[in-house]
Amino acid sequence: MRSFFKIFFATLLAFVVILILGVILLMGAIGSAISPEVVTLSPNSVLVLETSQQYAEQKVSNPLNALIRQEPKEVPGVYDLVRLLKHAETDDNIKGIYLKAEGNGNGFATSEEIRNALLQFKQSGKFVYAYGEVMDQKSYYMASLADRVYVHPKGGVEFGGFFTQLTFLKGALDKLEIQPQIFYDGRFKSATEPLRETEMTVANRIQTNAYLGELYANFLKNIGIARKIDTATLHRYANEGLIQEAGDAVKYKLVDGLKYNDQVMDEIKARLGLKGDEEVNFVSLSKYTSATDLTENKGADNKIAIIYAEGSIVGGESEKEATISSGHFVKIIREARQDKDVKAIVFRVNSPGGSALASESIWRELVLAKKSKPVVVSMGDYAASGGYYISCMADSIFAQPNTLTGSIGVFAVLPNLQGFFKNKLGVTFDGVKTAQYADLGNTSRPLTEMEKKFIQNSVDSIYSTFKGRVVEGRKLSGPVVDSIAQGRVWSGIQAKELGLVDRIGGINDAIRCAVKLAKVSSYRLREYPETDASISRMVRSFGASASVENAMKAELGDQYKLYQQIREMKEMSGEVQAKLPYLMEIR
């Protein structure tokens, strides 16, 4: 027995020691990962920009990515990337940019912002090379501006025009005996179409055709300028299916040649004057971010606040990424409003909308801010419905040509699950109430006609308020706003023509406008929300929710978007929404 306990406690002690050592090693690895990386650039460096990298509005810093997921420690935000490319123009160590053009996870407006910054870099006299094995249309759009564009001999360039497809759930809901009870205002407000139709309505087809046509025209125009090919010819290439193989892309001058990756590397070496075994010093964007201090005028008293509002608009105090929660953002706007050193606010909006009530709360705080300092809006890929609601009061609004905006309309959905529960699951419900409408919103039964009237009246009232906010903010007449509202989406160019935005431009243009309105010469930027790079936040990003989400994305692939659509419909149930009909997937 004594021998048993000796062995037991010795084993236990060994286990504890190993556990402690493991924890120490893990903490050491984490400490190493989160400690600032000292990056020095050598002469003749080439900056690498991968078009497949998706850029959020704000910088994403999570050193654990490099430790666990083998992803970059830091991914700059859109405006950070614009500033990095501007800095690279005068950085003697950076001689050029290598674009790895394979896939593009960014929206068209974000791509436009980055592409314009690359064009400015190119105008500085430094080179831009682009290479990809297979370039889809969005990655080719980015690559087309390069001095030299190469594609793999057995790869190719996809160039066949734009296409978008919607998924309709009505047939499935009918089979499940789920009855969506739908209320909406706006002839073009098609957010609920997937629940009530089996194909696109005439109105939705009109607006989708118009928006897609605007995107396509801008796409052809900019490629045409870069490649010196007129847009009619480019459209003929797409319409007649002339770009089928890699050689076709060379024949029709979309690319400059067919090369393997090593051949492109050799050409870049020659461009840099390197010989023999000398290697090109390629610098990743993540490392360049770490090596570059973008802070300007640190000692300036005057501040220009940039508030990044990205994601769906929701109520509450959530600080979740890619979410604009009214409680959290009201506090942020109020802080900027009450800071006397903040002379102007640039409100960067990249949102398809969401809760109408939350949108109203954010709108109100921005109106209060506007009373004491200029407020300028810069629109990203989307600033539609609720995203436009929180933008329309600004002193000036900037959008990209391919920003999707407008969608001034509202809706509400309340499912009736009685048939599903009773006939599919054998579940029934019963209860008592003390007043006739005490169970209004109960999904286990259909709404009465009076209850439907209550909800429609609420939707009508919110729609009227929404249009009133646009009338007030944009200085347009009621009839004009009514005609361009109706839930219809517009491109940035269309919105400018209609008076919904003031100018076509990016976030830099919006900042310059804010500085001019504030009448300041020296200033520094103050960015909100503050980024949280704490260990607790990093660990949270590897939690169960994130793991499940990432696993589903990997497993479902393209079908993940259908899951997202169903989930969003579920989240929209019951509350009046000012939200885009759908996040249009274009290829």
Provide the annotated active-site residues.
189, 385
Instruction: Measure the CA dihedral 379/385/389/390, to 10°.
Output: -50
207 touches 578 (CB < 8 A): no
Instruction: Return the DSSP state at 531.
Output: P
Rounded Cα–Cα distance for residues 210 and 546 (Å): 37
Distances (CA, A) of 384 to 485, 520, 528: 11, 31, 21
Three-state secondary structure call for residue 145:
coil
Instruction: Return the DSSP state at 417.
Output: -
- φ/ψ of 510, rounded to 5, equals -65, -40
CA geometry: angle 26, 30, 33, nearest 5 deg: 140
Distances (CA, A) of 395 to 262, 345, 470, 545: 52, 10, 13, 40
Closest to 193 measured CA to CA, from 175, 176, 170 = 170
Closest to 566 measured CA to CA, from 172, 231, 287 = 172
Residues 6+ apart with CB under 8 A from 330: 361, 362, 365
460 touches 369 (CB < 8 A): no
- Helix and strand element counts for the chain (H, E): 23, 22
Rounded Cα–Cα distance for residues 145 and 511 (Å): 25
Rounded Cα–Cα distance for residues 140 and 111 (Å): 11
Three-state secondary structure call for residue 447:
coil
Q: Is 275 exposed, middle or buried (0-12, 13-18, 19+ CB in 10 A)?
A: exposed
- φ/ψ of 135, rounded to 5, equals -100, 120
Burial 15-28 (b: 16+ CB within 10 A, else e): eeeeeeeeeeeeee
CA geometry: angle 295, 524, 310, nearest 5 deg: 80
